[in-house]
Amino acid sequence: MEQDNFNYIAEQFSDIRILRYQVEPFLRMSLKEKLFIYYMSKAAIAGRDILWDQNNIHNLEIRNVICKIWQEYQGDRECSDFKEFELYTKRVLFANGIHHHYSMDKFIPGFSEEWLKEAWQSVGGDDTTFNNIRRAIFDNTYMAKRVVLGDSDDLVTASANNYYQNVTQHESEEFYSNMVVDETSPISKGLNSTLVKKNGKIFEEVWRIGGKYSKEIELICHYLNKAKEYSCNETQRRLLELLIEYYSTGDLHIFDTFSIEWIKEQSATIDFINGFIEVYGDPLGLKASWESVIEIVDKEACKRTETLASNAEWFERNAPIAEQYKKSKVSGVTARVMQVAMLGGDCHPATPIGINLPNAEWIRERYGSKSVTLDNITYAYDQAAKASGGTLEEFAASPEEIALCKEYGSLGSTLHTDLHECLGHGSGRLMPGVSGEALKSYGSTIEEARADLFALYYIMDPKLVELGLIPSLKVGEAEYCNYIRNGLMGQLTRIKPGCNLEESHMRNRQLIAQWAYEHGKSENVIEMVKRDGKTAFIINDYQALRGLFAELLHEVQRIKSEGDYQAAEALVEKYGVKVDQELLTEVLTRYEKLGIAPYAGFINPEYQLIYDNANNIIDVEINYPDNFIKQQLEYNLFQLQAE
């Protein structure tokens, strides 16, 4: 059962809130199921160092330095330098590296170079290590941004991630364009490798046992093998065997086989994601960060997503997109509501609230996809928001809008996520000969816009009332209010004065909201007002706004289906990148007064084996720690503690 008076907010620093989540179904599970979760949770932590190294080549060495100082420094821990060091350490641990997890900007330390050097020497640190990391920490022009998506002639060399070494964007694109693949079932080129140029030769260092990240992958596979013995069914056992085989060989054909079989597995009470999955961290949209999520099926809540999935054909046929871009037949679309049991890699501490996989377009079109909504994560966000309060009241346009969103906003947000993940990402198709990488650095933004527009169009459809998913279209109205307010103002709390939008999801949201605002001006569909000197946006015609969303979805799907790079670039750059700096200053000033951090992430629960007097495992205990940095320091030692 859920703990009474559970404290969802652990702490707040800089622009980050650290939250906690409960895993309510765990206590009701069998010992076999608990052991499966236990070992899969270990596998979810085992790959953490891979992500740190992927994010930047200096990250692991910097982490070792700052954590050793944190633990062993005997000097004045109340001085301003140490306080700034404490803040820097927490930010780096939260972001899995020296760049902000969302803005991608490098953290600027508030302590001096001299102080850090003295602190490092005081705990036995050597000069060679300090000299290795000095520039990465203190030179603000060096590796300034982890992912650069625009304003650069070479996105690869301008980005500070560690996916490419000594190669340019042109060389990288040429390398992969010349790679021959089976057009009927093309592998995801470059997904699990670092592209390297050495002695004039360009080649891939594949992430596999015996290759790059071998130590970490061996430990992942160690725990996958242990978990395999407690699989929910034979299909899941076979899935783990395929995943281990993929990790052992690095063969992307095996990964595709795994992905297809993963879609088909629907009966297990526990599901998992583990591997090199999302490509947001690569400006070319090829190489995947390592991540893991362990999830428990929420059978009651699944009725909602199962209803959507069972009607996927209807939604596809009635979508406002050209017929040639629709799937000829919708099959294999599944959606479930899950309770997260463990987050790892690029899903921790910051995590998505919904996931739709696999990403390979040909697999999605031929075999379908699997969508999950992470219910206990969204619940934790909601509880934390209620405890903090204030943002809706500050930025909503009227008391009527506040009342509407308080009554229907939570349900609207949940349905939007379901529609986005289950149907939006699962809809449409590419034209013959169009590559999934055709849109390059704009691909992620266009794909997120496509899924959001699908959700926005249908959340105001009477079909949802007919299906019993919403009581009335007031739910859709509340979601429209929340989306426009967030797209034009709310998300601006996440960027600094003078900056524009870089992150794909943020670009997507502003693109949609700004496009709808400008294209609806003649009919005053969305109105910008000033009240007591505060800017707000009022939706005057919800049905007209739905029509605008349909019009934009029609074009975005065309861009995606045809791989129209020029149109994608024009749309994103015009509506999704540039920020009204005057409005940004106003929003930041108003938001600062609320004292709420704009980003949040989570402390994981911890699982412990319980033994009887004969040393037999009789149970697995779950605990909910509340010390963020303590958990991060324990994870640092994980490679040394394999069971």
pLDDT greater than 90 at residue 223: yes
Answer yes or no: is 232 within a domain.
Answer: no
pLDDT greater than 90 at residue 252: yes
Bigger pLDDT: 385 vs 469: 469
Q: Specify whether 134 is located in the same domain as 167.
A: no
Name 405's Cβ contacts closer than 8 Å, sequence gap at least 6.
392, 396, 478, 481, 482
pLDDT greater than 90 at residue 385: no
82-103 per-position pLDDT tens digit: 999 999 999 999 999 999 999 8
Distance from the Cα of residue 584 to its chain's centroid: 24
Q: Specify whether 416 is located in the same domain as 534.
A: yes
Residue 327 dihedral angles phi and psi, to the nearest 5°: -65, 140
**Where does the pLDDT of residue 332 fall: very low under 50, low under 70, confident under 90, or very high at 90 and above?**
confident
Q: What is the pLDDT of residue 591?
A: 94
* Cβ 97 vs Cβ 50: under 8 Å: no
260: Cα within 13 Å, side-chain hemisphere: 13
Task: State the average pLDDT for the chain.
Answer: 95
Q: Which domain holds residue 301?
A: 269-599
d(CA 223, CA 235): 18
Q: Specify whether 191 is located in the same domain as 288.
A: no
303-320 per-position pLDDT tens digit: 999 999 999 999 999 999
171-214 per-position pLDDT tens digit: 999 999 999 999 889 999 999 999 999 999 999 999 999 999 99
Answer yes or no: is 264 within a domain.
Answer: no
pLDDT greater than 80 at residue 642: no
Q: Specify whether 537 is located in the same domain as 563.
A: yes
Diameter over CA atoms, the chain: 78
Bigger pLDDT: 151 vs 358: 358
Q: Specify whether 337 is located in the same domain as 427.
A: yes
- For 198, the token pair is 């050495």
Q: What is the pLDDT of residue 1?
A: 41
Q: Specify whether 369 is located in the same domain as 515.
A: yes
**Where does the pLDDT of residue 4 fall: very low under 50, low under 70, confident under 90, or very high at 90 and above?**
low
Bigger pLDDT: 643 vs 417: 417
The arithmetic mean of pLDDT across residues 355-364, rounded, is: 92
**Where does the pLDDT of residue 3 fall: very low under 50, low under 70, confident under 90, or very high at 90 and above?**
low
Answer yes or no: is 6 within a domain.
Answer: no
Give me the DSSP letters along 559-609.
HHHHT-HHHHHHHHIIIII---HHHHHHHHHHHHTTT--SEEEEEPPEEEE
Amino acid at 529: V
pLDDT greater than 90 at residue 78: yes
- For 182, the token pair is 């089976």
* Count of structural domains within the chain: 3
Answer yes or no: is 416 within a domain.
Answer: yes
Q: Specify whether 291 is located in the same domain as 427.
A: yes
Q: Specify whether 393 is located in the same domain as 428.
A: yes
Q: What is the pLDDT of residue 390?
A: 83
